[in-house]
């Protein structure tokens, strides 16, 4: 995958007994690390209190040196890994957001991006609300609190209709764990169980990491409340008949061993590779994927075409995803330590290279040059999604047309700009067919400009509240 940013992963646990619940959240966040590498945090409820720890960096680093052990035993806990889509990358903006409100101690963690953050924030400030951060997640927390009558569920029910954009939430008080998915289901959220405990997570891979059994996905527009009486479900009013999950969850964001809305991410990516081989074949000696997100599709391409799958690129697994670096210069500089061509595998070969998407083109351009410098005779690029022509304001940090090579170049021009021998993309219909068995509809806004929410008057600026 090249140069796209997804924002966050959320995780929550409700236990019937007091224990080292933070450890469960730690392993859940570890499994969701791919969703955000800027910061992370865990909050634990115990004895009508909430204790928390947050830090900048990876889960294993933030919770080293006794920071995990310092969290108390408890019966409810939530956690968060962050990539910023609203608000700068700094400790002040790390989640969960923890505060005291009408419902006592509360904590909120959010995956997604609101498009009406500034409007809501300005309205709350007029009502004398005080903000400590510059993130939309704090706006969510403050609005829920302001609309509550002392019952957290009332606050959530009243606040959700006012949110525009994408949100998968875990909300914690000292006696309840609440999970919420926006009416369009843009970001994933699922529920699992471990004996008599409930677990909520962005992806099923996090359930697997803590030994939880998958129960079901949270429905679009559903509010799940978990307390001492068990699990209770409430639906928002006016939920669209067809949900619109971000299709890039299947293309790239989710881990390939996750199952989202009833369908395997692995199968979707493998089918994408097969379709590329079927519709856009080319005479080649080897097929390879850009690690790691292109590898499954590359194997699918190999199975369909008979071209052998051979690794062309070696990845340093101790370097985070290139695009998750907070600015473009860092992303470009990190590529040289992240990836290297396997000269013996590509020298003298015609190479088909599979990737999930191309955003700016800078990373792919460097990879193609890397393969040519290593002796590849030809480099043919095959992409598991259509050309990205439009920005996304619903949880992917692609906020302007100037960031997109596909906004002003067609397939042939992109090929020339990258220095490839050929470039081919899946069409929208072909991409949709890879996810045909999923129990959801999809948002395709970055391909066709049609979003679940009208965005005509939205001004994109992730630092707008700084």
80-84, 145-149, 458-462, range with the lowest pLDDT:
458-462
∠ Cα 424 430 435 (to 5°) = 125
Query: How many CB atoms within 10 Å of residue 290?
Result: 24
Q: What is the length of the chain?
A: 466
Active site residues: 8
Is the dihedral angle over the CA atoms 351, 402, 410, 444 positive or is it negative?
Answer: positive
Q: Is the pLDDT of residue 387 over 50?
A: yes
Nearest to 23 by CA among 209, 231, 226: 209
- Could you tell me which residues come within 8 angstroms of residue 116 by beta carbon, excluding any fewer than 6 positions away? 162, 163, 164, 165
Write out the two tokens for 26. Answer: 């730690």
Provide the β-strand partners of residue 405: none
pLDDT at 402: 87
- State the pTM of this model: 0.91
Q: Are strands 378-383 and 422-425 parallel, antiparallel or unpaired?
A: parallel
Tokens 């969960």 correspond to what residue? 96
110-134: average pLDDT: 92
394-398, 399-403, 434-438, range with the lowest pLDDT:
394-398
Three-state SS at 386: coil
Q: Is the pLDDT of residue 324 over 50?
A: no
Detail the DSSP E strand segments found in 144-251.
165-172, 177-181, 190-194, 197-201, 213-217, 222-227, 230-235, 245-246
101-105, 294-298, 313-317, range with the lowest pLDDT:
313-317
Q: Is the pLDDT of residue 466 over 50?
A: no
Q: How confident is the model over 155-174, as pLDDT tens digits?
A: 999 999 999 999 999 999 99
221 backbone φψ class: left, alpha, beta (φ>0; ψ -120 to 50): left
Asked whether 357 and 252 are in contact (CB, 8 A), the reply is yes
Binned at pLDDT 50, 70 and 90, residue 396 comes out as confident
Tokens 């509010």 correspond to what residue? 223
Q: Is the pLDDT of residue 269 over 60?
A: yes
Q: Are strands 213-217 and 197-201 parallel, antiparallel or unpaired?
A: unpaired
How far is 124 from 130, CA to CA, in rounded Å?
8
Burial class (CB in 10 A: 0-12, 13-18, 19+), 17: exposed
Q: What is the residue-averaged pLDDT of the chain?
A: 91
Three-state SS at 275: helix
User: Alpha helix locations (H) across 98-244?
Assistant: 117-126, 136-146, 152-159, 204-209
User: Phi, psi (5° rounding) for residue 209?
Assistant: -65, -25
Q: How confident is the model over 295-307, as pLDDT tens digits?
A: 999 999 999 999 9
Q: Is the pLDDT of residue 27 over 80?
A: yes
Biggest CA–CA distance in the chain, Å, is 71
How far is 2 from 40, CA to CA, in rounded Å?
23
């Amino acid at each position: 995958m090249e140069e796209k940013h997804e924002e966050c992963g959320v995780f929550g646990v409700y236990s019937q007994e007091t224990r080292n619940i933070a450890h469960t959240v730690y392993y859940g966040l570890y499994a969701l690390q791919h969703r955000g590498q800027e910061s992370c945090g865990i909050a634990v409820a115990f004895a009508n209190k909430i204790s928390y720890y947050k830090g900048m960096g990876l889960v294993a680093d933030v919770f080293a040196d006794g920071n995990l052990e310092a969290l108390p035993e408890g019966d409810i806990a939530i956690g968060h890994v962050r990539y910023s889509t609203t608000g700068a990358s700094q400790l002040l903006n790390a989640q969960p957001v923890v505060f005291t409100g009408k419902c006592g101690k509360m904590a909120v963690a959010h995956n997604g991006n609101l498009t009406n953050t500034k409007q809501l924030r300005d309205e709350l400030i007029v009502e004398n609300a005080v903000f400590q951060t510059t993130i939309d997640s704090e706006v969510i927390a403050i609005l829920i609190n302001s609309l509550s009558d002392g019952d957290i569920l009332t606050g959530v029910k009243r606040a959700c209709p006012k949110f525009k954009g994408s949100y998968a939430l875990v909300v914690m008080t000292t006696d309840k764990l609440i999970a919420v998915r926006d009416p369009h289901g843009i970001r994933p959220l699922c529920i699992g169980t471990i004996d008599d405990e409930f677990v909520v997570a962005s992806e099923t891979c996090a359930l697997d990491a803590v030994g939880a059994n998958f129960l079901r996905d949270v429905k679009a527009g559903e509010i799940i409340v978990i307390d001492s009486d068990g699990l209770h479900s409430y639906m928002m009013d006016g939920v669209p008949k067809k949900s619109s999950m971000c299709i890039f969850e299947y293309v790239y964001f989710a881990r390939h061993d996750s199952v989202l809305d009833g369908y395997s991410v692995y199968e979707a990516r493998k089918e994408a590779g097969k379709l590329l081989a079927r519709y856009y074949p080319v005479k080649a000696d080897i097929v390879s994927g850009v690690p790691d997100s292109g590898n499954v599709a590359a194997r699918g391409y190999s199975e369909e075409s008979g071209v052998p799958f051979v690794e062309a690129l070696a990845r340093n697994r101790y370097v985070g995803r290139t695009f998750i670096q907070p600015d473009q210069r860092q992303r470009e500089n990190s590529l040289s330590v992240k990836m290297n061509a396997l000269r013996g595998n590509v020298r003298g070969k015609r190479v088909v290279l599979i990737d999930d998407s191309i955003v700016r083109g800078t990373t792919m351009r460097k990879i193609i040059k890397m393969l040519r410098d290593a002796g590849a005779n030809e480099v043919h690029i095959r992409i598991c999604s259509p050309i990205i022509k439009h920005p996304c304001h619903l949880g992917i940090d692609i906020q302007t047309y100037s960031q997109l090579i596909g906004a002003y170049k067609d397939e042939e021009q992109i090929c020339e700009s990258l220095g490839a021998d050929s470039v081919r993309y899946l069409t929208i219909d072909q991409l949709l067919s890879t996810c045909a068995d999923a129990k959801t509809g999809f948002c395709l806004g970055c391909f066709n400009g049609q979003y679940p929410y009208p965005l005509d008057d939205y001004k994109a600026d992730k630092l707008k509240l700084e």
